[in-house]
Amino acid sequence: MKEGALLLLVALMLNGCGGTHTVTTQTAQTAAGGIWSAEMLGGSGEASGFSFNTEFTVNGGGGLDITYFQFLTAEGGTSPCFPVDGGTEAGTMDLSPNASTGAVTGTMTYTVQATGSTLTLNGQVTGTVAIAGNPTSLSNGSVTGTWTVKGGSGCNATGGTFTMCQSTTATPSTGLCSTTTTTPATTSQNQSLR
């Protein structure tokens, strides 16, 4: 009887200590939430310079629950395509994790709508979720793809390419992508918190 109890105790200890974590779609979606910074190349005039920071969580259906958005570059001209706080943002992230390696791939769509203009980003997501412990974020989370903008006079562009990086910083106003345009000073930022 003592041997049976001892074997059961050892089995329970091995099961609960440092075991591997199964990476599910829900785990990957939860890990993908947080602060992301996007840098866009291409476009011209007012239909360019759309680099931004955003913060969101990914809900069970793959939709983005966006709580923060701000363009990092101020646009000139008398009728800019978007205000600095964006307008209305929406998106989806459809992720497929590899349960044995933690590698995550998928697709992302992100839109910004304001003043009759719509900015659309479509890209491929990559990253890694830890398979041990309790993963809370992606490692090397990034999205690469293409963007377009449609709107009023001066706000139409076939677009270009973009890179979006997940940040590990504590505040949405700090960009992580190494090539992202410098963040404006805190005193001049017009932040949009929803």
Taking residue 129's Cβ as centre, other Cβ atoms within 10 Å add up to 27
4 within a domain of the structure (yes/no): no
pTM for this one?
Answer: 0.75
Sign of CA dihedral 120, 81, 90, 102: positive
Sign of CA dihedral 185, 193, 62, 149: negative
65 within a domain of the structure (yes/no): yes
pLDDT band of 37, cuts 50, 70, 90: very high
2 within a domain of the structure (yes/no): no
* The pLDDT value given to residue 62: 93
15 within a domain of the structure (yes/no): no
* The pLDDT value given to residue 1: 53
112 within a domain of the structure (yes/no): yes
17 within a domain of the structure (yes/no): no
pLDDT band of 74, cuts 50, 70, 90: low
Which residues form the domain of 34?
23-193
6 within a domain of the structure (yes/no): no
* The pLDDT value given to residue 135: 64
Number of domains comprising the chain: 1
Q: Which is more confidently placed, 9 or 39?
A: 39
11 within a domain of the structure (yes/no): no
CATH at residue 52: 2.40.128.30
